[in-house]
Structures are given as C-alpha cells and as structure tokens.
Structure 1
Amino acid sequence: MSKSEKKTPVKNEKPKRSWGCFGCIRAMWATRETEDTFLSPELYIQTTLRELIIYVLFLTVTCIITFSMTSTTMFYFTSAMANLFLDTKTVHAGSFRSITNTLDFWRFVQDPLINGLHWDKWYNNFEVPDDLQGYIYYENKLLGLPRLRQLKVHTNSCTVHKDFKSMIMECYAPYDHKIEDVTPFGPHDDGQNYTAWHYKSSEELGGSTHWGYMATYSASGYVQNLGFNKVQSLKIINHLYRQTWITRGTRAVFIDFTVYNANINLFCVIRLLTEFPATGGAIPSWSFRTVKLIRYVTKGDYFVLACEGIFCVFIFYYVIEEILEIKRHRMAYLHSFWNILDIIIILISLVCIGFNIFRSLVVKKMMLTLLEKPDIYADFERLGYWETRFINAIAIAVFLAWIKVFKYISFNKTMTQLSSTLSRCSKDLAGFAIMFFIVFLAFTQLGYLLFGTMVKDFSSFQNAFFTLFRIILGDFDFEELEAANRVLGPMYFMLYVFFVFFVLINMFLAIINDTYTEVKVDMSQQEDQFRMTDFFKEKTNKLMTVLHLTSDKGHGEKKLVRMDEWIKILKGFGYADVEIQEMFERFNYDGSRLLDIDEQNAMKKDLDKNRKKSVKKDMKVADKVQGKAPGEEGGSSDSDEGGIARTTGGAGVTYDDLVMLSKRVDRIESTILCQLEAVLTKLSQIESSRLTRRFDSPRYSNVSSNDPSTSRDPRARKAKIQKKSPKKP
C-alpha cells in the first residue's frame, strides 16, 4: 500500500494492541516510565496505583525475609558468650577486657578461657557424662577444637639510630605482613607434635585477614589447636607458657572457636584478639558474630523459603521493568534519581541471592567435613564474616526500598515537601558544606595536634573527627581537655563551640527553615497534581451504577461533573477563569473537585433564576426604547411563559432586534474578554520570568511577599489585574 493510500487515524480512535511477544511484556510491565501517562490523568492514577500495590507486596516480602535473619534471641546469645569470656575474673581479679600486658594474657588463658571452653562438671561438682562433654553452659556445642594463632615480626625489622646501636642490639618494628617472621622457633623436637613453633601460610590455613586497632593482620601465623577436654587444653597452654611462646616480636595472638546452639539454631563465631604493639603492653579486642547459617529447619523457616522464592520472582520482574525503561529512554534513563535507586536495589538483591545459595552449599560441605574429622579446627570465621556483610547488604537494600516509596506518592503535594525542600536548597547546602568542612577540618587537625598524645578521643585524626561531631550533639569530656592543657584546652573548646555550634549550625538550620517556608507557601497556592479521592469516588459511583445499587429518584443518571470538564464547557461560552472558579467553589459543597447531582441541580436553579432576571431586565429596556411604561401593552403582543409582553409593533426598535443586537454585543464582549485574558496571561508569564531573575539577584531582599503586585506568584498578579478590569455586565 502506498503512503497516499494509508488511512488517516481517526480522532479518539483507540490504538490497536500489539499481541506480539514484546506487546505482552509491555502490557505486563507497564509503568509511568514506559507509558504516556501525562496524556490522561486517569491512566496516570491507574498506573501509579498498580505500581504502588505491586511495590508494597515486594516490600512486605522483603521485610519478612530480613526480619527472619535477626531476632532478640541473637542478642541474648551474644550477650551470654560475651559475659562468659570477657567479664569472668581471673584469680588475680582481672578479665580479658582488662588485659594490659603479656602476664595478664596468660592468666586469662589459663583460667577463664579454659574453664569457659570446658564444662566437665555440673554446678554440684558431679561429673558431666561423656556424651555431654564439649558443651558451653551445657547448651552450646563447641564445634571442633579451639585454636591459638600468633603473628610475629622478625628481629631487626626496624632501624636503630647509630648513637644507640651499641646499646640496643635488637629492634622489632610495628606489624606489617612484609616483615612477618616465618622461621621456626622454640623447641624443635619435643615429642608432643606441637605445631605452635612452625609458621603456616594463609593458603594452608584458609583464613581471612583481620582489621585490628594497630594494623590489619594476615591469615597466616604460628598455630596451635587446644584439646578436647580441660586437662588436654591446660597441658598445651602450660607448655606454651613455659617455653615462652610469646616473644618480643609477637604482635598479635588470636583465639578462635565456634559454638552452635541447637535449641535456637544459631552459630556464634568468636574471635578474641590481643595485640602487642611495638610500644609495649597489650590491647584486647573481640568479635562475636551470631549468625543463622542453617536456614531451613522449622515450618517458619520453610515459610521464609517460600518468601525468598517470591522475592526472586519480584527481582526478575523489576529487572525486566528496568530493561524496558532503558530501552525506551536510553541514556536519559540515568537522569532520574529513582532509576538509579532501582538499579542499586536490584544489584544488591542479586548479590544477596547469589550469596544465599553459596552459603547453603558451603555450610553443608563444612558440616560434613566436621562430622568426619571432629579433631580439627572448625573455621567458620570467613563464613561468619561474609554472613555479617550479607545481613548488612540486605539492611541497606531494605532501607533504600523504604525510601523508594516516595516515588509512588509524589503526585500528592504534601508528600513532596521533603524532596522539594532538599532540591531547592541543594545549591545553598553545597556552598555551606564547603564552608563548614573547611572550618571543621581545621578544628580537627588542631585538636589532633594539640591533644593527640594525651587524650584518647584525639589519639588519631579519625577519632578527632568523630569526637568533634559528638561535641555538636553534646557528648564531650571537658575535664579531659582541660587536664591535657589547662590553657589551650578551654580556649579550643570555647572557640569550637562558638564558631561551629552557635554560628555554622544555626546557618544550616536557617537555610533549611527558609527553604521549607517557601515550599509551604508555594504548595498552599497549588492544587494536587491528581486527586485520589476523586478517582476512587468516580470509580465507586460507576461500580454502584453497574451493580444497580443506585436509586434514580427523578434525577436521572447520577453523573459527576469534573472540574476540568466544567472549565472546558464554560470557556467555550467566553467565561473567564476567575468566574469559573468562583462558580465552581460556590456550589462545590463537599470540597471535592466533582459536582454530584444535588450540586448540579442547585447550580441549574441559580442559572435559571439569573436567566429570568436577565430577560426581565431586557424587556424593561425594550419598553423604554418604545416609549412605554413597563407592563403597558401596545400593538399586538404575545404573552410568554414569564408573563412579560413582547412588543411587535409601533415606532422604534423591536424586541427581536434588541435581543439580536444584545447577543451580538455579548459575542463581541466574550471575544474581547478572551483575547484580553490571553494578553494578560502572556504579560503575567513575562512578568513572572522577569521577577524570577530579579529574585535570584542578591540585591532583592526587602520586597514584601504579601503585596500582590510584587508577589512571585503570577496568579496573584492576575487576580489583582482582573479586579481592576471592568466586570462583564
């Protein structure tokens, strides 16, 4: 068919639906980004509601999955383990938290650690049966054997100044994996097969690095497993103590073990680290990772499994949706914040789905190995670490998913206050942020240099940075600063509080306050983009009509008249916007933007009354033109339904001619008013753009916002101009 023979599309003709594969996919994944919803308010609301309902279901499933990963029981399990191994006192009244030197470490290992790992007696000193051996608190199964691991640096790993070389023969630098000591030491052949004296690489041990206070430590080192019971473990500990396993080159000692509680199906991966810095002394730290590695045991767990399957379906759905949107918008797709947020949520979810499958396979393999070889160390440290990262990723995804809810409620002006305020003041906040961080970082560096050697909160640049943020929130220790320097400490504190707290923070609040006030004023003068109440009321009335649940008592069909339909009709008769708005608000009793049958009847009666008054006024004018008194008959007259005589004879202008002339004058007046309104609208737009440029200028600051002549809202100026213009008779 040639181009000239192609049919021209008929107006209001519905587009034909494509039944191809892509057409079906597009119908299932129709969104505001893939459809031209701006052409139809009803289509916009329908699409938005459909997206919102689907997303609420997705959010519900996601919350069910995430809340199943953690519980209050996890906290109490962690607390029980921490109290046992961190707070139990030694015979010398010390604990792991209070370790300050090598002797404190050995006292902890020989008493609280051994007694905490091996519960071989009941509370009444009766022996625990063999089948119950290896339980902590009689409830938590110790998996495999606990392990000690040491990291050392080799001798002369640092450089001694030439003036002290004759006095200092050995030098041990702070820890670095490049200067690790890998040579065997201690007794080489003691007949007990101790492995603590021989170095093993991270590939042999299969562990992971650890971030401590002083350094990041590798997974290698000198390793020694403890025994199955208290006697064996204590023998190993005493041997290492007597043979001076911890030397001057020791920089870190790790104690690793894992327990499992079958009552609550939870693992607790425990790591106790003691760092021995080059300065001397000891710094204890710890890690308790309570995780649920075996996911599906109870009926509730299998319900979560079903939710995880539904979650995967939702992710697949949203992947297809984003592909369709990218296919349509190309690079413009990345211009929207919500689209970028969608991609981040999908990527995090895909990574979590992959890790969930990987975790299940690895745990199953590790449990089989542990059952076959119960006399080895059960290395759940790496798996526990990544399980914690997995929970963190899911938490971030859920947080972003809740933020995304604003995308689907943005059609309501109240719901856009936050985004509108932040977007409007973004430039001001960016400029303020530069100024704030210049001052803040200056105080951070000053505090670090002044008090870094004496105050723990300023011992590093990072600590000083967060300490100053805490001071803003009222969390500070003034006495410690004053003790560090009686002159500079108080001066530093007062200067920081004045410039940052009293000046900069109040500037920040003023920017937010002023912008929020502007947004509130602008929103009070705007209508909602779409009214959900109107949409639901209209759909409800249609449904009631279809179900024959409405009664027609002399009113006919109860059809609702929308505001936009009313404006189109009255504009066709030449009415101005102000008159239309005034008429609609006069009879819109319930405040909705729809006129029901009662409101339509009231408006009809008012219009009939005004029409009769207008006819009487025209008849009086006609009688005066013919020189007759009102109500006086002359010639032949016909009585109309209103009882007013129509003059057909005599000298002067006839009534029909007068009516015809009046109609012509009305049409001319309507045309003039419409053209005048168009001119005023154009002038308002020009004036609005001019005032916008003027408001952006810093010199404009003293103009009152209450004066309509200087208002930034063009509708206020338009209303003032229309008040001054002559009204239509």
Structure 2
Amino acid sequence: MGVTPLADNDQSNQYFYEIIVFTGLRKGAGTKSNVQFVLSGDVDDTNVRTLSDPHRKVFQRGSVDAFLMAVPKSLGYLNCIRIWHDNSGEGSSSSWFLKYIIVHDLQTMEKFHFICQKWFAVEKDDGLIERVLPVANDLEKQEFSFVLAKSAYHSISDGHLWFSIFSRPPSNRFTRVQRCTCCFVLFIVSMFLNSMYYDLSNEAKTKISNSTASLSFGSLSIGREQITIGIIVELFALVPSLLLVQLFRRLRLRRLYLSPVQQALSKLKPNWALNVEKQKKRKCSLTFPWWCIFIAYGLCILLVGVSILFIVARGIEFGDEKTQKWLISILTGLFSSILLTQPLKLLILAIVFACFCRKLNEDKEALEFLDYESLELNFDEEYLHFPKKKFRSLSYANRLTEAEIAYARDQRLKELRMWSIIRETTIYICFIALLYIVIYSHDQTDPSLQVHHFRRYFLNSRQSDCDYTQISTVDDYWKWLQESFVVNLRAQRWYNGETPRNLSGYLNDKANRLIGWATMRQLRIRTESIESCPNNEKQIQAICYEDYSYSNEEKDSYSPQWTNLITKTNFSSSIRKSFQYQTSEQSDTYPYVGDQGIYPGGGYIYEFRGRFSELQSNLSELRQLNWIDKQTRAVIIQLTLYNPNVHLFTQMNFLLEILSTGGLSTSSRFEPLDFYALTSTFQLICNVLYLVMIIYLMWIEIQLLIKLKWKKYIQQFWSWIELGIFVCSWTSLAIYVWRYKECQRIGRLFSETNGYVYINLQMASYINNILVYLFGFCCFFGTIKFVKLLRFNQRLCLFIQTLHYSANELISFSFMFTIVFMSFVALFYLLFVSQISSCASILLTAQMLFEMTLMKFDTQELIAAAPILGPLAFALFILIVVFVCLSMFITIINDSFRQAKENAEKDNQVMLTFMIRRFQKFIGWKKVVEDERSEFLRAKYVDPIENFPKKVDQLLTVITRLYLDETDGKLQL
C-alpha cells in the first residue's frame, strides 16, 4: 500500500502532485506495458514522465495506483493530460482500460479529474494507445454513468461482505480476519434461526409430512418451503452481522506512526505540514475507541456460542427428513446471501448514491490516498516505498510509429483469433466427448445378444414346421402358439427330468422372468360393414370382408364363439373374457404400428395365466370356438421380460395381420429397455456437465446472433447445426424426464406387486425410442460440426467452398431431378405393381430406382415381367437419369470446384502459418518472428523523400500565413 514516488523525480523540485490512476474491472483491463504521460497546465507543462513502480505490479485489473510527482514549480490550473503506453506487454497484458485519473495538488489541495472510460488497445474500440484527456468540469463529474461506475467499484471491492474477503482495499481498516468473522457469525446465526423454525413451528411440522411439491434427488428432496424459509431467515440473520460490520469499521487506531511521505514532504517543504493541518478540518464521523474491538469479538463469540449450543441441544432431536430440510434451508440462505441479498443491497446503494448523493469532492475509492489521516500507519503496517536510497530512470517519449502500431494490431488480432480457435477446439472436443459419454452410458449393456436370443427362442426359425416367420395360414399360427410359444413361456423340467425350483414366472430358458403375464389382443371389423357389398359381388358371395380401419372396428362384447346367445357351457373366466371388448384404459394398451396399418389400443384380450396344462387346454378351446375368424384383422401378443443378470427389461410384440385378400403377414418387435441409467456418480457428473456445456454454447450463439443479426446469422450453415444440437439436446432432456416419470410409475408398481401383475412397457418403449432418435440426431449434428474444426486443412476447406458455391445450382437441380425421378417412379409403379414385389408400393419402387441409378439392379426380373416394356422403361431411365441428370450434377460440382479453387480463402492458411510461428516462438525459435516483423515493417515503410515535396508546400503555406499581409501581399517586417 502507499504512494509511489516517480522514479524520474528531481530532488531539487519542490512542488508536488499526487496522481491517482484507476484501472477498470473489465476482463483484460490490466496492463504490463510502460505507461507515460505529459501533464499540461496554464503556466507550464511537464516533461515526459513514466508511471512505474520497482517494488510491485501496477495497473492491474481493478487496481488503484497512486504516484507522487515532483515538478520545479506550479503548473497552474491543469488543462489536460496526454497519456499513452508502448504496447510492450505480452498478449492481453498489452491492453489497458483506464477509468479516470485524479491529480491532487498537495500545496493548494485542489483535485482535478480526467475521465477516460476507454481502452488503450490496438485491437479494441478505435485502436488508439494514446489519448488526450481534458480536465472534467462539474457536470461531467456529476454524470450518472461516471458516478455509478465509481460507487459500483467501491461497493464490490469493499461493500460485499463475502467478496470483499478477497477484494478488500489494502489500506482499509476493516481487515480480512474481521470480515471472515462476520461471515462466520452470519452463517452460524442463520443455522440457529433455521433450527428454531423447524423446532417450534407447528406449520413446519405439518408441512414436513404433507409436502409433495418438491424436486427429489434420491433420498434428498428440495421443496418450496425450504427455499422460502432459508431466504427469510437469512434476512433476519443479516441484522446482527450488519451491526458487527459497522462496529469493526468504525474502530479507531490504537497507535499512529508518522508516514514517510509526510516526513519527506515536510523536509522538502517545511510549511507543507502547516498547510495540510489547515486543509484537514472536516466533519468527523462517528467512531469508537480502539478497545471496542474486544467488545466486537466478544459479541461474535457470544452469538456463535449460543447458536451452536442451541443447535446441538435441539438439532439432535430432528429426524432424518427434518434434518434434510433444515440443511437445504441453510444452503439456500447462504447462496441467497452471496448471490442475492448482498448484490441487491450494493445495487440499491449504488443507484441511490448516484442519483441523490452526488458530491463533487467525495471520492471513496481514492479516500485512502486523499485522506491524510490514512497516511498514518497502524502498528501492524509498514510503508512500501521508504526512500532509503535515490533511484532515477531516464524518461523519453517511447511512442510507436504508425507502422509499428499497424503491425501490433495485426499480430494482436491474429493472436486473439488463434486463442479463439484453440478455445473453440478445446471446448468442442470436451463437448463431443461428454456427448458420447452421456449417450452411450444410457446403454451400459449390449442388448443385441439379448434380442438375438429372443429371436431364436420365440420365432423358432430352426424348426420349419413351427417357424413364426413362415406362417401362411391360421392353422399354422395356432400350431406355433401351442407347440412353440406356450412351451417357451413356462419353465419346463430340466434335462434330467427334475422339476425346476424357485423359477416361478421364468421362461423355459431359466434366465428371463415374465413380468405379470402375456396377453393376446385381437382387433376385428364390424358385422354391419361386411353386408354392404356391390350387387355384382353379392352374386358371388353373400358377404365381403373389408380391410381394417378405425370406422369399422368391432367394439361389442360377445359370448364364446362370437354369438349373442347365452350359452350353458361352463367356460373358464379367461375364455369368456377373451370374447368381451376392453378399452385401452381398461387393458392398459396403446396404438401399435404394423406393416399393413395402425392398430389402436383396446380389443378382445386373452391373458396367458395359469399353469402350462391350463394354457394348452385354453388355446385348444379358443381354436375350437373360432376365436380367430374371417372378421379378425390383427392379433397382437405382448409380454414383458426382465433379466436380473443384466438388469434389462424387454418389451416383445408379435403381430399377425390377416389381410382381406386372404393372406397373412407376421412381424415381431423386441425392444430392450434399461431403466437403471445414471446409477453411478460419474454418469451423473457427465450429464450435469453436458447441460452446463449446452448452456455455455447457447450463450456463445446468442452473442453471435446479436453481433451478426438474425438475417445474416441464419444464412450460415453452421448456425443450423448449432440449432439442431440445442433443439435435440433440450428436447431429449424433456423426453428423458418423461421417461423417468414413466419408469418411476412402473418401478412403484413392480415393487408393490413383486412383478406378479401385468405391466405393459409399450408406452415406456415408445418414449425410449423417441429418446434414442434424439440421441442419434445429437450425435449426427455433433459429429458434423467436428468438420468445422478441420477447416485449416486445405483440401477440406476446398471441399466446403465447393459446396458453398454450388448450393444455389444444386437446389435448382434437385427440383428438376425430383420431377424427373418421381415421373419414373409413377411409371414403374403402374407398370409393375402386380408383377414385381419391388414395385408393390411407391416407397419400394423409389428404392428400386435408386438401386438402378447405382447400377446395382438385376434386370432379369424386369424382363420376365414385361419382355418389351421392361427393357424399354429401363433404357429410358438409364438414358435420362443416369446419363443426363448425373452428368449435369457432376458438371455443377466441377464448375463450383474450379471457382472455389480460383477464389480459395487464404485466411485460414494465414492463421495456420501464424499458429506455427507462434509455436516456434514458444519453443525459442525467435528468428522467425523477428523476420516476420521486419518483413511487415518493410512493406509498410514509406521513404521520407517521397513526402518531401508535400512537406515543403506545407512549410511555404505556414510562412505565407505568418509573414505576408493578406490585404496587399507585402512582407511584414
């Protein structure tokens, strides 16, 4: 702490000025460059003076540096100060943000303000590193922005109780130990008040058991009550802490020592001390004797002791749930004090002082340098710059030329871009690593082996007589049910004939357990819809059977054998129930997408419940009762399995679709589900870091959007990639929360019933599929963006530029190609829809034509279907699409490639060269950098002889104005 005498002071000079320099708080505001100035007044100007300190670093971010300057005589009323630096700092240390300067005349006690609030940097604002600052008048010193900036700086560094522990002004009497003590008292008292609330309040006791609106993290629950109580209690605890803070701040010093500055100035100018005493008369503030520090610490010990005693005595009676809520309230109060209460207090005080308490001569930030009581040191302080020996440095104007400034600006801008590229690369590598960790950690086990096992196990493709994929009649389907499916659905005897034990509910593979039971759901068409046939069709058959649709779905309940008559036959409850319609809510079923249609939830459901023999007899009865008849359009078997060895659930669906043409279509779907995601701390940390990274990247994109404006922003390709990443990430978060709630519901049902009730995982499977799709798109967009990091590769850059130049032509070409291609799709579909399976639908026809475009198509099937039209259509397609359209596509690419090669961007290559040279400088190869600087300055060099005629003309013009009379043109002697 203290005032630094300038190194170039002359010992014979007897007039002194104190110069206080305020450096800004912005990022990179500090500098290591050499700062010089010239101070001008009405009477005289100073020489070039240097602001430096041999003992400590000056002009750091947010610092206040004071210097003592000696001059031969008074400069009079100060007009301006010319200040600059030589840009000698490395990297960001070369730039400097100057807030303002106060020059204090130590003889007349006048203060002069020079307001700047600008950068001295070659790469920021106007790029100037030299400025002339005029003295500020009263209106400028009372300007709102200037007053607010001053008060905000002082509030943050000294007023914020928590932050001021680290940013406390060096000469402030409120020490760091005292600040830490006040913070500790505030924290302990808030703990005490929180415990009082949870111990005494009946409302809290009732809310503890009834509160449900909370966010849960395992056993930890965060509710609105804890947050509200934490904030309110913190406000009450703020009162004793404020009293302690004021008591510590207003303590007077015990012993005072005369400052070396006063000694030096008194010796240099004996009457200076007398003038100071005359100027020191001011209004004294309320202070306390030095021994009140014992009272302050005693109050702290008393508050802490009483609080801890009560916490220990009453807190031990708290239960686990109440203790958790108490801790949440404490942490909420702590964070609200740091991030809410203290900043809000400082903001209000700063605005109030800026609006209503503007005093021209009050500078709290510089009070330690302008208040001469503070020049007197405490017993535990020493003066840093005691003049034991004389030192002197030569001062000369170390200004940079325009060419040097241009070179420094060019190098600095390249350096900023280099660090931006390095930061972008590092951040994105971390992002892509977190992305892959988060996505692939959701599938900890490989489900492909499980799915492969179930396919072989249930589809029974090894036996040709019971192969599910080869079913062609309803009898084949019943045979597969009775001889394959039901046999595998129950655990049979071991190979040695022993009965399996403790395997109730397990499949015959003895490894997977059935959750609840399997269901077989049938969807039918109504009887009314099949009687409305055309007259010509009625002559052939009495009724017709239409395809399935929502409008003709059967929803009535029947007796066995699909009759409305009451039968006297004694059927089991499961048989009778299978002929009664159940809605989707009653059966807990959801829509299912098949190959031939979309089937809603609900239907006629048979439940595979009971022993193996009962299942066999029930299936035989259903077959005899024609449970599957001509009105049946779909039969869906659904079951849920759980493998405890790998903690993997599997939702199975077997679909039989009966077509109106008489054919059958079978399909199956095996969807493994892992409900045990985020089981490790590492996974949880990676997920949280991924969300933080997404928020950070969104903030960067918002800044870029503000900079480029909306229209220019959306024209960039990489902007759409970023938007794709953000949309997929946040949507996947919402879907994950949805899946989490569904899993919680299923988990509660499973734990309550031990898995002995039917649990349909179809909705969870749908949600999981959506989540997987979003994860896939996240990986796609993230990997595509990785190409941007490789833009310094010349060939890749050329490839990107080629796509950029060909974008408009390719869009126009795509419209033309789509029209031509779709015309051929229509042609082939209409010609061969009934003859070639590859043309059975529009989509399959388009797929066949794409294969034909790649020349990977067997024409034998086409020729066999139509010996004349087939080869003709094929030749026409090859001629127009392959020869003409693809040739046009290649021509567009070639033309754009030539254009990109001619107009290749050299900016990336220049940056690559700059980064290589910086690396060479880092390893000590300085010759390359020196050669680059010499080459740049040589290119900017202008021979003085070229400007000689112009300078002569300027000289003659000045002489003419000074010595020639403008009226008669005669020389004035």
* TM-score between both structures, scaled by the size of structure 2: 0.52
RMSD, matched Cα: 3.6
Q: What corresponds to 2:536 in structure 1?
A: 163
1:404 to 766, 777, 785: 785
**Do the aligned residues in 2 keep the contact of 1:160 with 1:168 (CA within 8 Å)?**
no
Name the CA shift for 1:84/1:452 in 2 (closer, same or farther; >3 Å): same
**Do the aligned residues in 1 keep the contact of 2:589 with 2:601 (CA within 8 Å)?**
yes
Q: Are residue 449 (structure 1) and residue 818 (structure 2) matched?
A: no
Amino acid at match of 2:845: A
Q: What corresponds to 1:85 in structure 2?
A: 458
For 1:161-220, what per-residue CA distance to the aligned partner results, in whole angstroms no more than 9, with x for missing partners? Answer: 123335533232211112110111242664521221111122323332222121111112
C-alpha distance in 1 between matches for 2:934 and 2:588: 74
How far the C-alpha of 1:58 sits from its partner, in A, is: 1.0
Name the CA shift for 1:37/1:152 in 2 (closer, same or farther; >3 Å): farther
Q: Greater shift after overlay, 272-281 or 316-325?
A: 316-325
C-alpha distance in 2 between matches for 1:81 and 1:480: 35
**Do the aligned residues in 2 keep the contact of 1:289 with 1:385 (CA within 8 Å)?**
no
Matched ranges for 1:143-292 at <5 A: 143-157=515-529, 159-165=532-538, 167-187=540-560, 190-194=570-574, 195-292=577-674
For 1:454-505, what per-residue CA distance to the aligned partner results, in whole angstroms no more than 9, with x for missing partners? Answer: 2111011111111111222344342222222222122222322232223322
How far the C-alpha of 1:452 sits from its partner, in A, is: 0.3
Name the CA shift for 1:102/1:385 in 2 (closer, same or farther; >3 Å): same
Matched ranges for 1:531-542 at <5 A: 531-535=911-915, 537-538=917-918, 541=921
User: Residue 428 of structure 1: SS of its match in structure 2?
Assistant: helix
Amino acid at match of 1:168: Q
Gaps of 5+ in 2: 1-113, 126-145, 156-162, 164-338, 340-408, 561-565, 951-973
**Do the aligned residues in 1 keep the contact of 2:834 with 2:840 (CA within 8 Å)?**
yes
Name the CA shift for 1:136/1:399 in 2 (closer, same or farther; >3 Å): farther
Q: What corresponds to 1:61 in structure 2?
A: 434
For 1:114-146, what per-residue CA distance to the aligned partner results, in whole angstroms no more than 9, with x for missing partners? Answer: 122223222333321143551342111222101
Q: Are residue 320 (structure 1) and residue 702 (structure 2) matched?
A: no
Name the CA shift for 1:378/1:416 in 2 (closer, same or farther; >3 Å): same
C-alpha distance in 2 between matches for 1:359 and 1:528: 45
C-alpha distance in 2 between matches for 1:240 and 1:70: 40
Name the CA shift for 1:478/1:127 in 2 (closer, same or farther; >3 Å): farther
Amino acid at match of 2:685: A
**Do the aligned residues in 1 keep the contact of 2:648 with 2:673 (CA within 8 Å)?**
yes
Gaps of 5+ in 1: 26-35, 545-549, 552-556, 575-662, 670-729
**Do the aligned residues in 1 keep the contact of 2:487 with 2:612 (CA within 8 Å)?**
yes
Q: What corresponds to 1:430 in structure 2?
A: 811
Q: What corresponds to 1:363 in structure 2?
A: 743
C-alpha distance in 2 between matches for 1:447 and 1:287: 32
User: Residue 634 of structure 2: SS of its match in structure 1?
Assistant: strand
Name the CA shift for 1:307/1:48 in 2 (closer, same or farther; >3 Å): same
How far the C-alpha of 1:271 sits from its partner, in A, is: 0.5
Q: What corresponds to 1:705 in structure 2?
A: none
C-alpha distance in 1 between matches for 2:737 and 2:814: 43
How far the C-alpha of 1:568 sits from its partner, in A, is: 4.2
Matched ranges for 1:322-361 at <5 A: 322-332=701-711, 333-361=713-741
**Do the aligned residues in 1 keep the contact of 2:488 with 2:507 (CA within 8 Å)?**
no
Identical residues among aligned pairs (%): 24
How far the C-alpha of 1:329 sits from its partner, in A, is: 4.4
Q: What corresponds to 2:311 in structure 1?
A: none
How far the C-alpha of 1:273 sits from its partner, in A, is: 0.3
Amino acid at match of 1:331: W
Amino acid at match of 1:108: W
1:508 to 862, 881, 889: 889
**Do the aligned residues in 2 keep the contact of 1:156 with 1:172 (CA within 8 Å)?**
no
**Do the aligned residues in 2 keep the contact of 1:199 with 1:220 (CA within 8 Å)?**
yes
Matched ranges for 1:45-124 at <5 A: 45-70=418-443, 73-88=446-461, 93-124=465-496
Matched ranges for 1:429-508 at <5 A: 429-508=810-889
Name the CA shift for 1:8/1:252 in 2 (closer, same or farther; >3 Å): closer
Q: Greater shift after overlay, 446-455 or 310-319?
A: 310-319
C-alpha distance in 2 between matches for 1:400 and 1:312: 16
How far the C-alpha of 1:37 sits from its partner, in A, is: 11
C-alpha distance in 1 between matches for 2:506 and 2:494: 13
Name the CA shift for 1:455/1:209 in 2 (closer, same or farther; >3 Å): same
How far the C-alpha of 1:285 sits from its partner, in A, is: 1.0
C-alpha distance in 1 between matches for 2:533 and 2:920: 88
Amino acid at match of 1:315: I
* TM-score between both structures, scaled by the size of structure 1: 0.69
Name the CA shift for 1:50/1:228 in 2 (closer, same or farther; >3 Å): farther
Name the CA shift for 1:564/1:38 in 2 (closer, same or farther; >3 Å): closer
Name the CA shift for 1:8/1:236 in 2 (closer, same or farther; >3 Å): closer
Q: What corresponds to 1:605 in structure 2?
A: none
C-alpha distance in 1 between matches for 2:870 and 2:735: 50
Name the CA shift for 1:558/1:157 in 2 (closer, same or farther; >3 Å): same
Q: What corresponds to 2:936 in structure 1?
A: 567
Q: Greater shift after overlay, 362-371 or 210-219?
A: 362-371
C-alpha distance in 1 between matches for 2:801 and 2:428: 23
Number of positions where the alignment pairs a residue of Structure 1 with one of Structure 2: 552
For 1:533-562, what per-residue CA distance to the aligned partner results, in whole angstroms no more than 9, with x for missing partners? Answer: 533543663x56xxxxx69xxxxx868236
User: Residue 465 of structure 2: SS of its match in structure 1?
Assistant: coil
Matched ranges for 1:413-428 at <5 A: 413-428=794-809
How far the C-alpha of 1:152 sits from its partner, in A, is: 0.6
C-alpha distance in 1 between matches for 2:846 and 2:833: 12
Matched ranges for 1:570-649 at <5 A: 570-573=939-942
**Do the aligned residues in 2 keep the contact of 1:144 with 1:370 (CA within 8 Å)?**
no
**Do the aligned residues in 2 keep the contact of 1:52 with 1:408 (CA within 8 Å)?**
yes
Q: What corresponds to 1:384 in structure 2?
A: 765
Q: What corresponds to 1:599 in structure 2?
A: none
Matched ranges for 1:675-690 at <5 A: none
Amino acid at match of 1:100: S
For 1:62-85, what per-residue CA distance to the aligned partner results, in whole angstroms no more than 9, with x for missing partners? Answer: 111222334783211111111122
Matched ranges for 1:709-728 at <5 A: none
